[in-house]
Amino acid sequence: MEFFRSYLDKLSNAIREVDFGLLDQAARLIDAARRTNGKVIVVGNGGSAAIASHVALDLTKTGGVRAVSFNEVDLITCFANDYGYEKWVEKAIEFYADTRDLLILISSSGSSSNIINGALKGRELGLNIVSLSGFSSSNPLRQLGHISLWVDSSDYNIVEMTHNAWLLSIVERLVRDTLTE
């Protein structure tokens, strides 16, 4: 029993330790993409890829925002085979991103080379980037996001569940509130 109490306390604390202003700014960037007929591109690896799919679907279905995640096996394996795994996100962004789009890049460690390269490509293209990371406070992804949401933990499950909660809270904000600038 004590394990679950301790674990869920740790998760609850991580979720609450967010700058609410940054969540609001991220929601506004997503809403701006929607209003300008842009799309939101959400990308991650492993558990973060599952979060990316979930959030992209909820943004589209309930939030009225065109959103995609690059989780198609053929896309990943083709680009990884042709350009290298560390470049597949960068190449997908190069091929699919438009100037009004927003990138949401998720990496628990903040040091996944494919996600970092995607952030660099997004910056090169002039896209706004919301990054979600954990582990080291000086991780590379955190430095590349225009809005950087960081979890002060090196426990993968805590980081991933916190990212999921934060992103879904943004979806709920978009659904329930009309955002104005």
What are the structural domains, with CATH classification, of the chain?
A: 2-176 (3.40.50.10490)
**pLDDT exceeds cutoff 50 at 93:** yes
Average pLDDT, the chain: 96
User: For residues 123 and 177, which has the higher predicted lDDT (pLDDT)?
Assistant: 123
Report the phi/psi class of residue 106: left, alpha or beta, with left for phi > 0 and alpha for psi in -120 to 50. Answer: beta
- Whether 92 shows a pLDDT value over 90: the answer reads yes
pLDDT at 181: 43
